[in-house]
Amino acid sequence: MSQVDRDRALRRRHMHERQAVVFGVLLATLAVAGLGAAAIFTDAISVPFLDKGFSTEPSATARAEAVPCPPEGAKPVAYKKVKVTVYNGTQSPGLAGATGEALAERGFKVAGTENAPTSLDGTARITFGAKGVAAAYTLSAQLPEAQLRLDARDDATVDLIIGGDFVDLLPADEVQLDPKQPLEGMPDCVPFDQVTAPPTPAATPAAG
């Protein structure tokens, strides 16, 4: 074999060796990627951004702020059985007292009137516990655009916080309640058992 042929054979061998190394690295990389994907898929390892940023589970905050639907088949509560405390969340003095009197005239049991610890935007907010869902919906029918908020109280009482946009209760003849018909849930309400109740905030007692 001539020197030229030997050099040519040596170059071909070196090229084949380099190709073998490249293919070996590629195969090893693919094998590692496949093992990693399988481990993630089977939850053998956890990935931070999959656990947090891209989770499809609703957060605790979202669940707490969700509006619960009334229990299936629940009907309006008789006004005299709805025990409500009215809070003034505005800068207008005497508004809680006046609203409490108006509710009492309709038959609601007004437990007291106080100033709210903080001001409230919007028309009104009604807070209630697990036992007071139907009572809260019954009260919300008296006010335009009232917000509903679940808390951790263990009785059927409800709190009404008057907000800065509040003007007056709806006229009695415009209240959309039929004692024989089940209550209708708020738009986008969720089943009650999917809502997490936050702790009940403490109110600052003061004449309203």
> What does 55-68 look like in DSSP terms, one character per residue?
--SPPHHHHHHSPB
Q: Is-contact 83 134, C-beta < 8 A?
A: no
Taking the CB of residue 174, how many other CB atoms lie within 10 A of it? 10
H/E segment holding residue 150: strand 146-150
What local confidence, expressed as pLDDT, does residue 188 receive? 85
According to the model, what pLDDT value does residue 194 have?
A: 78
Is the pTM higher than 0.75?
no
Q: How far apart are CA 192 and CA 86, in angstroms?
A: 24
Round the CA-based radius of gyration of the chain to a whole number and report it.
33
DSSP β-bridge partners for residue 85: 112, 159
Give the pLDDT of the chain (208 residues) as one tens digit per residue: 565 556 566 666 756 566 666 566 666 677 666 665 555 555 555 545 444 443 334 444 444 567 899 988 999 999 999 999 999 999 999 999 999 999 999 999 999 999 999 999 999 999 999 999 999 999 999 998 999 999 999 999 999 999 999 999 999 999 999 999 999 998 889 987 777 666 555 444 444 5
